[in-house]
Amino acid sequence: MTTDTRTHVHALVDQLPPVQLAAVETLLQSMLDPLSMKLALAPIDDEPFTEADRQAIAEADEWSKHNKPIPMEDVLAGFGLTMVDWETMANTPLDEPLAKPLGGQRKNG
């Protein structure tokens, strides 16, 4: 990018009203953040919300009324992980796309 291009882009941004400036900010952030870009390009979740889903949420809500939340550190420790491990995984790209979504049922073959 030349200095002229950068200067021109700055001049255009300086002319934007606040609403459009906020939209450009969001666009630029998504262009610079790979996770935001992936989320923006992800397909819409169009699975139906089932009665089983509603029941699971109701059970979780009821459980949370009578129990203290489980700290993330405790959940990770159950898998032999720490918060540092979790952050490292979050910031480490996968070498290849997953064949199935995380948490998906896999058939034993």
Q: Is residue 78 part of a domain?
A: yes
Q: Do 16 and 36 have their domain in common?
A: yes
Percent pLDDT > 90 in the chain is: 42
Q: Is residue 3 part of a domain?
A: yes
Q: Which domain holds residue 57?
A: 51-93
Predicted local distance difference test score (pLDDT) of residue 52: 96
Predicted local distance difference test score (pLDDT) of residue 65: 95
Cα distances (angstroms) measured from residue 85 to each of 79, 88, 101: 11, 5, 21
Q: Is residue 85 part of a domain?
A: yes
Structurally, the chain folds into a number of domains equal to 2
Q: Is residue 76 part of a domain?
A: yes
Of 17-21, 37-41, 100-104, the poorest mean pLDDT is in: 100-104
Q: Do 56 and 25 have their domain in common?
A: no
Averaged pLDDT for residues 20-28:
87
pTM: 0.40
Nearby residues of 95 by Cβ (< 8 Å), 6 or more positions away: none
Q: Is residue 103 part of a domain?
A: no
pLDDT in tens, 55-70: 999 999 999 999 999 9
- Report d(CA 22, CA 30) in Å as an integer: 12
Predicted local distance difference test score (pLDDT) of residue 45: 83
